[in-house]
Amino acid sequence: MAETAPAPPAADEGLALHGIAVRFGGLVALDDVSLRVPPGQVVGVIGPNGAGKTTLFNVICGFVRPAAGSLTLHGRPLHPRPDRLTRLGIARTLQGVGLFAGLTVAENVMAGATGSARAGFLSALLGLRRSDRDERRLRAEALELLDELGIADHADAPPATLPYGVRKRVALARALAARPRLLLLDEPAGGLGVEEIAELGELVAGLPRRANRQPGTGADDPCSVLLVEHHMDLVMSVCDQIVVLDFGRVVATGTPDQIRDDPAVTEAYLGVDDPSASAEVPPSDEDNRPSDQRSGAAA
């Protein structure tokens, strides 16, 4: 019997930004930025240094309030606050790793899931049975996640004793422990070697398809991913859609193939209209990006 194709997501499903503007004093960091992250897709945000990527990420996390524009999540107005993201089904990893130094790897991952624990702070404080049950469940789930990410051997280690690449995976496991419907990744490839970036690419590309069982409903919701990243090869290989920012404005949106061929993207990265003139554009001393990232959009 032929399989029925899954219904396409409704137009308002997922995260959407509508005409977002952010100013820092007289500086316009984001100007009329609109984009969508549909369920089950990986959407990348790229752009040269100072383009507004981190500001965009901070708007979605609620660290920065836009001067104009609005956000919606599944068609409803979204007024994000960093401490309420988990409740909205949103998880994030930040630049760097940001793990709790006093906790083991497994405990760090469990901390990411505490929003789904049924027992509250009081019952945990009083050592009640339900809290023990929650604790055992959270630990089992944390170990499963660590296993999925290939780092189960490190479950009882303090994060500080581990290589940077492993710590980044722990941070990803902690974000996934919240069973997000939307995962925000801020420069996950930063500080990783070529091989680690390739492995990360496989992980990120698989995120929308992994089982993401929601507590209560038991339904497997697809997880969408917003990836803010400098590393062009990673973005090109894992994203369904890419949004290119330059000077706070969206200069291109499309599939990796469309972005690769878009002259506006070449211009944003190289500051020239004609890619053939790129060899004459000297890299700036202040631009510390590796050369593959400066020219990657045109590659």
Ligand X SMILES: Nc1ncnc2c1ncn2[C@@H]1O[C@H](COP(=O)(O)OP(=O)(O)OP(=O)(O)O)[C@@H](O)[C@H]1O
Q: Binding residues for ligand X, per CB under 6 A?
A: 24, 27, 29, 47, 49-55
Helix axes 164-177, 129-148, angle to 10 degrees: 130
Quote the CA–CA distance of 246 and 280 in Å, as a whole number.
21
Of 97 and 149, which CB lies nearer to ligand X in the complex structure?
A: 97
**Strands 68-73, 76-78: pairing kind:** antiparallel
Smallest distance, ligand X to C-beta of residue 227, A: 13
Complex with ligand X: residue 178 or 189, whichever CB lies closer: 189
**What does the block give as tokens for 58?**
């901070």
Return the number of the residue (66 or 159) whose C-beta is nearest ligand X.
Answer: 66
Q: Which is nearer to ligand X, 54 or 108 (CB)?
A: 54
* Shorter beta-carbon distance to ligand X: residue 18 or 23: 23
Instruction: Compute the distance between CA of residue 220 and CA of residue 74 in angstroms, rounded to an integer.
Output: 16
Q: Tell the smallest beta-carbon distance from residue 57 to ligand X (Å).
A: 8
Closer of 54 and 266 to ligand X (Cβ):
54
Smallest gap from Cβ 245 to ligand X, in A, equals: 7
User: 249-254 and 241-246 as β-strands: parallel, antiparallel, unpaired?
Assistant: antiparallel
Q: Do 188 and 149 meet the contact criterion of CB atoms below 8 Å apart? A: no
Q: How far is the CB of 24 from ligand X (least distance, A)?
A: 3
Q: Which of 288, 205, 221, 241 is nearest to 35 (CA)?
A: 241
Shortest CB 130 distance to ligand X, Å: 43
CB of 51 to ligand X, least distance (A): 4
- Closest by CA position to 210, among listed 172, 155, 166, 167: 172
CA 27 to chain CA mean position, Å = 26
Neighbours of 19 (CB within 10 A): 13
